[in-house]
Amino acid sequence: MSNAEMAGALEERLRLDSAPVAIKMVPEGQEPPDGLLERSKVLTFCQFVVAAATGRYPFWVTRENLGCQNARIAFGMYDPERDVALVERAVKNTVGVYAPDAESARKLIASKPAIPPGQVAGLAVAPLARAFFEPDAVMMLVVPWQAYFAMDDYMYATGDAPLLLEAGTNSLVCAYCAVRAGHLGKISLTTACSGGRNYAGIERTQLTLAFPASKLEALMAGMRERSRRVPYPGMIAMPAPTPIPPKHILTPEGE
């Protein structure tokens, strides 16, 4: 399927309110894909994702216009020797909010999914239908019911269950969703962290769901096959049980 066909299938099947977003982590030394806008204004990664999903804009994201220190660490878009202050600022901002002291904060930051520094030149973040590149992952802004349906479609096709999901204290949209899916190849589902909620405006009812490129074919197959039996938003059909009069455990015998 083309990216546009895949986007149409996802939007129709899941009744998405915004566009699926293609994410590509472009290696150092490679040119950015065609058709991307490079903004001079600094934004967070989650702001780029929301703008691509809701405004359907395609972006080229570099270390110069990626303003979130947590996202720059997650995508390895920094130099550990020259950008010591970047990491120290992340540690300082973590202490007292997500960790009790600097040592705990460093362990927390080190535990997050991350790409080693120096491997990524930039990020292509675009509506899937307008993505002129092969994505590493496809991200969607979903409500829990849409996430449930999509994951069920995938598990129907593959039998790969249960799906193991991860979440941390922050860096949820960047590290625990985009990097975990696009770099580590794992289906990822997270809430928004405080940055995604406060800066990108992700709604309190929304989650971010990401499928790695290696699992998109199975997702599409599951959607096609399962939609014949379970059309969204219906429930799986099953006979209704015969109501049984409630009997409390403390009800006297014979009553």
Residue 11 falls inside a structural domain:
yes
Residue 247 falls inside a structural domain:
no
Low-confidence ranges of the chain (pLDDT < 70): 233-255
Residue 32 falls inside a structural domain:
yes
For residue 250, what pLDDT is reported? 56
Residue 234 falls inside a structural domain:
no
For residue 182, what pLDDT is reported? 98
Q: CA dist 101 to 92, 93, 219, Å?
A: 9, 11, 42
For residue 51, what pLDDT is reported? 96
For residue 229, what pLDDT is reported? 87
For residue 40, what pLDDT is reported? 83
Asked if residue 233 has a cis previous peptide bond (ω within 30° of 0), the answer is yes
Residue 205 falls inside a structural domain:
yes
Structural domains in the chain (count): 1
Q: What is the mean pLDDT of the chain?
A: 91
Residue 239 falls inside a structural domain:
no
For residue 231, what pLDDT is reported? 81
pTM above 0.85, yes or no: yes
For residue 113, what pLDDT is reported? 97
Residue 250 falls inside a structural domain:
no
For residue 159, what pLDDT is reported? 97
DSSP, collapsed to helix, strand or coil, labels residue 55 as coil
Residue 243 falls inside a structural domain:
no
What is the residue whose two structure tokens read 């014979």?
254
For residue 193, what pLDDT is reported? 92
**Domain span holding position 36:** 3-227
The residues near 23 (Cβ < 8 Å, ≥ 6 apart) are: 49, 123, 124, 125, 135, 136, 137, 138, 139, 178, 181, 182, 210
Q: In this structure, are residues 142 and 209 in contact, taking their beta carbons and an 8 Å threshold?
A: yes
DSSP, collapsed to helix, strand or coil, labels residue 110 as helix
For residue 242, what pLDDT is reported? 58
For residue 142, what pLDDT is reported? 97
Residue 93: its H or E element: helix 84-94
